[in-house]
Amino acid sequence: MKLFEPFTINSKLTVNNHIMMPPVVTRLATTKGEVTDELIDRYVLYGQGGAGIVVTEAVSVKRQKSGQLLRLSEDAFIPGMQQLTERFHGETDSRIAPQIIHFLKIARSGYRQTVNDLTLEEIQEIPELFARAAERARIAGFDGVELHYAHAYTIAYMLSRYNHRKDEYGGSLKKRLLLAEQVVEATRKAVGDDFLLGVRMNGDEFALGGNSLIQGKAIALRLAELGLDYISVSAGGKFEDAIPVEGEALDPYTGYSGHRSMPPKWMPEKVNVYLAAEIKRTINKAGFNTPVITAGRIPTAEVAENVLQNGEADMVAIARPILADPYWPKKYQEGRENEILKCIYCNKCREAEGAFEEVTCFQWNRKDGSTSPPNP
């Protein structure tokens, strides 16, 4: 199967197969954003399970209160991240990269900061924050860095039609792209041309008034022009259709756009693959061969292989199925499909993340009260 053949991402980094384990929140970091042994164990497990490249849960680039969110906002976080990469590389033959993120303030009172509230000075400091965080990631021994331009976070909203700023950072798509461009340029300068630098973006926001695939294709083309090494296509995850709960902060993964970000079992297989396929066609037609990664209800190796054989994407991002059984890639490759604990797309893992609890698959629960992932 092509799925299990080695793949070189944009001539820079060779991985064992066409499988990415994309970011999945673990809630295993400390409240100060520090790495823990349990968090390292989880990522080593994903690597041992056979994913070609593992992208960590989001890592904050800014010094701010952010709960159990990993951070690379200061040099003090480098040693912990080095512990992660050293164990990962020592115990697996997979690759690993952090997803770095800038996010806005949100409170249980109902307050939500938007990109329209940011001062010009706050916006202008963002490229350097990403650059320094990426530089720390390289020092810490990661194999690359992924910029988070998707879902409910700062850069995604700067790119969105929800950005109504009146200065050079808002209004037309060209202006909405400015900060994203500046982040890429600053980060590339910080890490060098030889270091893998990818991006995750929305193909469609699936929220009334937001970006559609029309804007998604234009954004992806510009990111390809800027020389990013891969484009990972996600969808949705917006605050605009979030379901409010009294006394709790808005959760951008509770509405329809959130379901498109993490498609539940009532949505069809490959529900978001067409977004990546359209983006891949667009950038290829323009003369760019930037690898495109797709995600969203790809439950089996056969479905993933179909995506690759159809030319809909260059890699597949398998999140919840690998959370359910971290050895999903290895077991499929070895013909042990009958041993796989298969994801049923119930999104109990998503509920745990929203409740700030350790994220596991509820199918790990044993009758004796123990909780552990499947055997190799």
**Distances in Å between the alpha carbon of 2 and those of 5, 67, 308?**
5, 40, 7
Q: Is 257 helix (H, G, I), strand (E, B) or coil?
A: helix
Spatial CB neighbours of 137, under 8 Å, sequence gap ≥ 6: 59, 72, 81, 97, 98, 100, 145, 191
| Structural domain includes residue 375 | no
Dump pLDDT digits (tens) for 192-235: 999 999 999 999 999 999 999 999 999 999 999 999 999 999 99
Is 253 annotated as catalytic?
no
| Structural domain includes residue 369 | no
Residue of 46, 149, 153, 157 marked catalytic: 153
Task: Output the pLDDT for position 213.
Answer: 98
Task: Output the pLDDT for position 137.
Answer: 98
Pairing status of strand 292-295 against strand 95-101? unpaired
| Structural domain includes residue 83 | yes
Task: Output the pLDDT for position 366.
Answer: 79
Task: Output the pLDDT for position 64.
Answer: 85
| Structural domain includes residue 373 | no
Question: CB–CB of 52/322 below 8 Å?
Answer: no
Question: CB–CB of 318/21 below 8 Å?
Answer: yes
Report the number of distinct structural domains present in the chain. Answer: 1
Task: Output the pLDDT for position 339.
Answer: 97
199 - beta bridge partners?
147, 231
Dump pLDDT digits (tens) for 235-245: 999 999 999 99
* Residue 367 pLDDT level (bands cut at 50, 70, 90): confident
Dump pLDDT digits (tens) for 310-361: 999 999 999 999 999 999 999 999 999 999 999 999 999 999 998 889 999 9
Task: Output the pLDDT for position 355.
Answer: 87
Here the tokens at position 269 are: 């297989």
CATH code for position 196 = 3.20.20.70
Residue ranges making up the domain that contains 335: 2-364
Task: Output the pLDDT for position 107.
Answer: 87
| Structural domain includes residue 114 | yes
* Residue 369 pLDDT level (bands cut at 50, 70, 90): confident
| Structural domain includes residue 374 | no
Q: What is the DSSP string of 80-125?
A: HHHHHHHHHHHH-S-EEEEEEE----B-TTS-B--TTT--HHHHHT
- Read off the pLDDT of each residue in 143-169 and give the average, rounded to a whole number: 98
Q: What is the DSSP string of 348-363?
A: HHHHHHHTT-----GG
| Structural domain includes residue 371 | no
CA-nearest of 57, 53, 18 to 40 is 57
Q: Is the pLDDT score of 368 beyond 80?
A: no
Report the percent of the chain where pLDDT is more than 70: 100
Here the tokens at position 204 are: 């469609």
| Structural domain includes residue 104 | yes
Distance CA 146, CA 356 (A): 24
Task: Output the pLDDT for position 12.
Answer: 97
Spatial CB neighbours of 226, under 8 Å, sequence gap ≥ 6: 181, 184, 185
